[in-house]
Structure 1
Amino acid sequence: MSRFDRYVLSQYLLLFSFFALILVAVFWVNRAVVLFDRLIGDGQTALVFFEFTALALPNLIRMVLPVAVFASAVWVTNRLQGESELTVLRATGTSPWQMARPALVFGLITGLMMSVLTHFLLPSSINQLALREQEVSRNVTAKLLTEGNFLHPAKGVTFYIRQINTDGTLNDVFLSDRRDPNNSVTYTGARAFIVRDGERTHLIMVDGMAQRLDLEKRQLSTTKFSDFSYDISSLTDKSSVSNRSIRAIPSWELFQNRDLIPQSDGYTPGALAEEFHLRFARPLICVAVALIGFSALMLGSYSRFGVWRQALLAFLLLILVEGLRSVVSEPVMKNPDLWPLIYLPALTGLAIAMGFLQLAARPPMLQRRGIATAAKQETRS
């Protein structure tokens, strides 16, 4: 690469870092607000909140990476046009194909980033996030240790603690269990303690009373106790563990064990084929949008009004390429043999970029033809 190519490539990477940081921050804040309300509201610590948001970052980066590539390509090319650097290169005989080399290398670098993200980082982060979500959902203690509020850890269950001492003692505990439609039980205790026994969690209530209401017979029975153990492990969601997210399945497993995954995780062959080939198509999308952002701004001659029309054209083409991705997924989901369609958006973007570069290289020829035609007309007149 020439010195100018390295200079332009450095500008691409610098602006790409800026746009990626801004876009990831915007999406991260939006997701962090929801996570903060859910996790902190359930009694989780700030460390759990930051862990969840960090595990969600690879998926956020995957979504904003093509947009950041496109924005940086358009921005840098527009600045080079405005500062007449590309005009000087054209005057020296440099073709648009040669000037597109930094954009191509930039697209390949970001495509490599996307490959590492989709094949390694994203499946690992989604797997870890699913494990942590299961652990948090089983953490009964964090859900119940909130004083002064009526909590509903499960449907038909109400729990209340007036005060929690520094040593972990729970004062004035109220527990109402209405999950049995025929019997309603209410427990009250002056003090209580939470004790873990392996995977089980027990609430030990001291100096309390149990009131059982038989709704069929309309009878209320009351029992006083000095100590009573109540298994609160049942308050967690005991539903069966959901299947792995298809994005959490490693690429090597999608390639080697594609016939076994539908039996274990329940995904159709079309969904597996779509996900596997999409992980290879996303890097090509980065290359395509980088070249589209550059080549679209190379169309037309210098204008004092700028290149807003070319930039608008490039943006519309970006929407077209992204729209094609959603269109081609449906046929592949139904018929896995149509997997080559997954690469159609990227190949379409590359074809459009090459067409634009070819058009950008022809204006001098067209101008010479126009001058020659005008000269012939003057001669005839």
Structure 2
Amino acid sequence: MIARYDGYMLRQLIAMWGFFTLVLAGVFWISRSIGLFSTLLAGGHSPWVFFELTAFTLPTLVRTVMPMAVFAAVVYVTNRLRRESELVVLQAIGTSPLRLARPILYFALLSSVMIGAITLYLRPESIAAYDRREAELEQDVAAKLLREGTFLHPMDSVVLYFGEVNSDSTLRDVFLSDRRNPDQTLTYTASEAYLVPQDDELYVVMVNGMAARYSTQTEALSVTWFEDFTFDVSSFGRFDETAERGLRSLPTWQLMSQRAQLAATGRFTEGQMAEELQERLSWIGICATVAMVGFAALLMGAHSRFGLWAQIGISFVVLIGLEGARGAAGKMVGEDPSMWWAYHAPTAIGFALSLVFLHFAGRPLRRPNTGN
């Protein structure tokens, strides 16, 4: 019986892990995607762009929900096996809590390997790809600026308005106000204009319009009617071809081996890089910890047809405390990189607590015998 126990429990853990990961990831994905979807559609982008950008956020999303899914899978499977007396029978034939925890340890190692691949490699690469794609979208000035019926502010002291934007790049009811020069205000209006891209620049050619110049010093207003007038929309805000890669998108190997070179650029401090690196590594340990703590806490409880809600609550409180300690450790490492070990202290504490719980599970407290 015990020889088949490891594979039997491991299969159930993996199945429930996949189920809870899909459910939690779906809930988080919907809640986070609504705002992005509205913004992209309002900017004139196709739904395909939305799915492309959300695909880049999946590694971050999966990393966020994976420890919760691991904990939920362990608690669900352990509680069910206790309720159906399967674990009780194994304990009755003399199986130690440490032996019962072996498939949980295998499962913890498996989940740690997966979250390690995500947090150390896939997530930084996906963030970098997201930044590059976002920079490409920002280069599309037409999609960023040309919105019908809205007063736009591409930069300080500049206001643009387009009453209608047609698919053939024809613009209707164009208004441009330029107050960048404090001594004068320039205003351009036209009933019709055309969008003309040329040499990586974007021009708007206004026809049959009016240009008004107002001097704030002399309070003089001059008006000129024109047949055509061209202005460079790109000059109102240039966007770099490649967005500057943030700290979260840096490859892990750079944070490990090139911190001195990165610090010399002035973009990041030693504390920031140490915090980011240790934060990535800490996800590996904390994912294994939640599995061990959840199982060990439930194993302490006595058999009950109504489940082990008290033990589930204890394990949940312990994990909240460990996560709070991990957050506090992040600030310590950011201020003093030599305190890098503080980020991994919650993992060590969690494993120590799981061993204590397993010890008490093997030696349950007995009520004193008051009979004669």
- TM-score over 0.5 (shorter chain): yes
Q: Is the 8 A contact 1:176 1:187 kept in 2?
A: yes
Q: Is the 8 A contact 2:135 2:241 kept in 1?
A: no
User: Which residue of structure 1 aligns with residue 82 of structure 2?
Assistant: 81
Letter in 2 for 1:121: L
User: Which residue of structure 2 aligns with residue 137 of structure 1?
Assistant: 138
Matches of 1:265 and 1:203 in 2, distance apart? 39
1:105 maps onto 2:110 in alignment: no
Once the two structures are superposed, residues 161-198 of structure 1 have per-residue CA deviations (whole angstroms, 9 ceiling, x without a partner) of 33334432223322222232222111122322212223
Q: Is the 8 A contact 2:132 2:243 kept in 1?
A: no
Q: Is the 8 A contact 1:137 1:237 kept in 2?
A: no
For the residue of structure 2 that corresponds to 1:43, the secondary structure is coil
Q: Is the 8 A contact 1:244 1:265 kept in 2?
A: no
User: Which residue of structure 2 aligns with residue 14 of structure 1?
Assistant: 15
Change (3 A) 1:240 1:50: closer
User: Which residue of structure 2 aligns with residue 30 of structure 1?
Assistant: 31
User: Which residue of structure 1 aligns with residue 44 of structure 2?
Assistant: 43
Matches of 1:241 and 1:131 in 2, distance apart? 6
Worse-superposed segment, 210-219 or 77-86: 210-219
Matches of 1:127 and 1:7 in 2, distance apart? 40
Matches of 1:265 and 1:40 in 2, distance apart? 37
Q: Is the 8 A contact 2:83 2:304 kept in 1?
A: no
For the residue of structure 1 that corresponds to 2:76, the secondary structure is helix
Matches of 1:2 and 1:235 in 2, distance apart? 72
Worse-superposed segment, 239-248 or 196-205: 239-248
Letter in 2 for 1:119: L
- State the percentage of identical aligned residues: 42
For the residue of structure 2 that corresponds to 1:48, the secondary structure is helix
**After the TM superposition, which residues 54-93 of structure 1 pair with which residues of structure 2 at under 5 Å, given as runs?**
54-93=55-94
Q: Is the 8 A contact 2:187 2:211 kept in 1?
A: yes
1:246 maps onto 2:243 in alignment: no
Once the two structures are superposed, residues 338-372 of structure 1 have per-residue CA deviations (whole angstroms, 9 ceiling, x without a partner) of 21222101111111111111111123xx65xx7xx
Runs of 4+ deviating beyond 6 Å = 239-242
Matches of 2:305 and 2:123 in 1, distance apart? 45
- Aligned-pair CA distance for 1:71: 1.1
User: Which residue of structure 2 aligns with residue 235 of structure 1?
Assistant: 236
Change (3 A) 1:68 1:351: same
Give the aligned CA root-mean-square deviation in angstroms.
2.3
Change (3 A) 1:330 1:167: closer
Matches of 1:144 and 1:249 in 2, distance apart? 31
- Aligned-pair CA distance for 1:314: 0.5
Matches of 1:76 and 1:232 in 2, distance apart? 61
Worse-superposed segment, 147-156 or 204-213: 147-156
Q: Is the 8 A contact 1:140 1:235 kept in 2?
A: no
Q: Is the 8 A contact 2:178 2:186 kept in 1?
A: yes
**After the TM superposition, which residues 312-351 of structure 1 pair with which residues of structure 2 at under 5 Å, given as runs?**
312-351=313-352
Matches of 2:155 and 2:45 in 1, distance apart? 17
Letter in 2 for 1:201: L
- Aligned-pair CA distance for 1:127: 0.9
For the residue of structure 1 that corresponds to 2:265, the secondary structure is helix
User: Which residue of structure 1 aligns with residue 355 of structure 2?
Assistant: 354
1:285 maps onto 2:292 in alignment: no
Question: Given the two structures, how large is their TM-score scaled by the length of structure 2?
Answer: 0.92
Point out where structure 1 has 5 or more consecutive residues left out of the alignment.
none
Matches of 1:241 and 1:168 in 2, distance apart? 26
User: Which residue of structure 1 aligns with residue 169 of structure 2?
Assistant: 168
Matches of 1:169 and 1:271 in 2, distance apart? 48
Matches of 2:158 and 2:353 in 1, distance apart? 61
1:211 maps onto 2:245 in alignment: no
Matches of 2:43 and 2:243 in 1, distance apart? 21
For the residue of structure 2 that corresponds to 1:301, the secondary structure is coil
Worse-superposed segment, 203-212 or 308-317: 203-212
Matches of 2:31 and 2:183 in 1, distance apart? 44
- Aligned-pair CA distance for 1:143: 2.5
Change (3 A) 1:265 1:36: farther
Matches of 1:171 and 1:331 in 2, distance apart? 57
Matches of 1:79 and 1:257 in 2, distance apart? 49
User: Which residue of structure 1 aligns with residue 225 of structure 2?
Assistant: 224
Q: Is the 8 A contact 1:138 1:236 kept in 2?
A: no
Letter in 1 for 2:157: G
